[in-house]
Structure 1
Amino acid sequence: MTPPIQRPVHVLSKGTIAAAAVTDAVLILVFAGVGRDAHQRGDVVAGVFLTAWPFLAGAALGWLASKAWRNPLAVRRTGLAVWLGALAGGMVLRLLTNQTVVLPFIIVALLSLGLLLVGWRLVWAGARRLRKN
């Protein structure tokens, strides 16, 4: 009887995991900041956090649901979970806290958060492939 094939375990440093989490958070803050700037709303710092916190909480749920700390750089497993968590969680929390949720905003958030949260992981994966060659 042959032993089962085991995949190599890639142990990521705590720094890599923290850097991925911080990158997600910063990109969500960028999304919120650009959105607030486009609509010329005052109180920049507090306003950005007011806009961002539901999406940050949703992204955190995506991290937990996907166990992102196991492979925070994974495009499909982690990137998609964080993106969809940020989007769905963000919209639900905005609804629950009487913040604006309209179809155009949902579409912009869908596209923007997808580009940012999945996009940086795609760039990272592409760069890793290029370095290997």
Structure 2
Amino acid sequence: MKWWTTLGLDLIVVLLFATIGRLSHGEAADPLGVLTTAWPFVIALAGVTVALIGMQRPTDTWLNGLFVWAGTLGFGMWIRANWGEGVQASFVVVAGIFLGALMIGWRVIAARRSARVGDGS
């Protein structure tokens, strides 16, 4: 899978997270509002993806997905904190679970599908 495909799928995950979060707190899910919530994680995701590319590591494996998840979560929270946004423990936990489940989950599913295609199943 090409790096831009994995970046696109991870970007969808981040935007979905921001949209659901805004809706669950009674905030508007308009594009500007979603981007206002998502931008620290988008920047973090882009940085981690670029780092993996620079190290010539595949971005679509579940193991490297762990790095994408941890980097997106960690650096995204760091950016939020440095911009004066909330990083309460409950937010970090919910973000970690949601982003981890989807960012690693789609990689596991893709790997299994690829293995099935490769073995003729």
TM (normalized to structure 2)?
Answer: 0.89
Equivalent residues in 2 for 1:41-120, closer than 5 Å? 41-42=27-28, 44-67=30-53, 70-77=57-64, 79-120=65-106
How much does 1:61 deviate?
A: 1.9
What's the CA shift for 1:74? 1.2
Gaps of 5+ in 1: 1-11
Contact 2:52 2:58 in 1 (8 A): no
**Secondary structure of 1:67's match?**
helix
Q: Over aligned residues, Cα RMSD in angstroms? A: 1.7
Q: Count how many residue pairs are aligned between Structure 1 and Structure 2.
A: 118
Runs of 4+ in 1 over 3 A off after TM superposition: none
- State the alpha-carbon separation in 2 of the partners of residues 54 and 120 from structure 1: 22
- Per the alignment, residue 22 of structure 1 pairs with 8
Once residues 57 and 30 of structure 1 are traced to their aligned partners in structure 2, the CA distance between those partners, rounded to angstroms, is 16
Give the superposition deviation at 1:66: 2.4
Aligned mates of 1:41, 1:72 — CA distance in 2 = 33
User: Does structure 2 retain, via aligned residues, the 8 Å contact 1:55–1:90?
Assistant: yes
**Greater CA radius of gyration, 1 or 2?**
1
Cα deviation digits, residues 74-123 of structure 1 (max 9, x gap): 1102x111101110011001001111110000000110010111111111
Q: TM-score, normalised by structure 1?
A: 0.81
| Separation in structure 1 between the aligned mates of residue 44 and residue 13 of structure 2, nearest angstrom | 14
Give me the whole-angstrom Cα distance separating, in 2, the residues matched to 1:83 and 1:39. Answer: 23
Distance 1:87 1:62 in 2: 10
Greater relative contact order: 1 or 2 (C-alpha under 8 angstroms, separation 6 or more)? 2
Q: Gapped runs of 5+ residues in structure 2?
A: none
Contact 2:23 2:29 in 1 (8 A): no
